Amino acid sequence: MMSKSLRLTLIAVIAMFGSYKLAIGADLYPTQYAEIIISHQRAVSALHANDLNAAKSFITGRDYIYRTREIRGEESWGELRYRAAKIIATAYEKGEDIPKDVLWLAFVSLFKAKEGLPDHPEIMLEYMHKAVAMLIADPQLLDNIDSKYVSTSFTEDELQKYAIWQYLSDGGEIDWKQKEKQKENYNDDYTIAGVNYRIWNIRFRKTLWNRGDVYLKGKEYVYNTVHQSLQPQIACVAQHKGWKLTLPDGYNFQDNYLDTGFNMSTCSLNE
């Protein structure tokens, strides 16, 4: 049970940080409110000082665990995760001994942060190449990661994005205007963007050969992966880079971002 003195201390902290506004409803206790603010301030202070130990603790979730809400007007937890990942990756490049799970999380975080976009997608892809290579070399790598507090994860959605980014950057073609070909031309009735699932699966496996093809799974994977090409950021970068992506008639980059708007010059949401 929390002592009276600690409760009073936390209440004082709440008063001190009264100007902070969490992106929340009325669903937090005062102590939880204070814990989030304190955790955020500690993380900002340590990561802005390029504290490697703090970066390791942040990205593994072994510390700074109170991240359930954003604080309006302050760095987001995602921005802090990116900062922590950069500290770790930079230290590794300088020869620091970084635990494998920490390094893997840093690489995945840098991929998810889309570093290098819109002009240099190869930067984020290289991070993911390294992360997947580590996982293939050591399938038990993630066993020590606490999924409850860890700052990032390797999801099927990320693998799909990884595959479609690499496929398009390698010169692969997706034409959403292409009509479905006659079914008798295929061993499989299912097609997407005019191409049979079996063919898509072969293409993606070739794209990720020794880079994660062992994680590919059948038709649902193919369907979701091809559809990632309709994500505004991917479609926008494809236009910037001259990749072979033909969007369907009526495609609107702004449809999903009516509140903020989508910036075509940066391929990101408007600030």
Sort 158 into a burial class: Cβ within 10 Å, 0-12 / 13-18 / 19+.
middle
56 strand-pairing partners: none
∠ CA(3), CA(150), CA(40), 5° rounding? Answer: 55
Closest CA to 88 of 56, 42, 135: 56
Q: What residues contact residue 174 under an 8 Å CB cut-off, 6+ apart?
A: 167, 168, 193, 226, 229, 244, 245, 246
Instruction: Identify the segments of the chain with pLDDT beneath 50.
Output: 1, 6, 17, 24-26, 182-184
pLDDT at site 10: 53
pTM of the model: 0.84
pLDDT at site 25: 46
pLDDT at site 70: 85
pLDDT at site 219: 82
pLDDT at site 120: 97
pLDDT at site 140: 87
Identity of the amino acid at 173: E
- Cis bond upstream, residue 248 (ω within 30): no
pLDDT at site 180: 57
187 near 198, Cβ under 8 Å?
Answer: yes
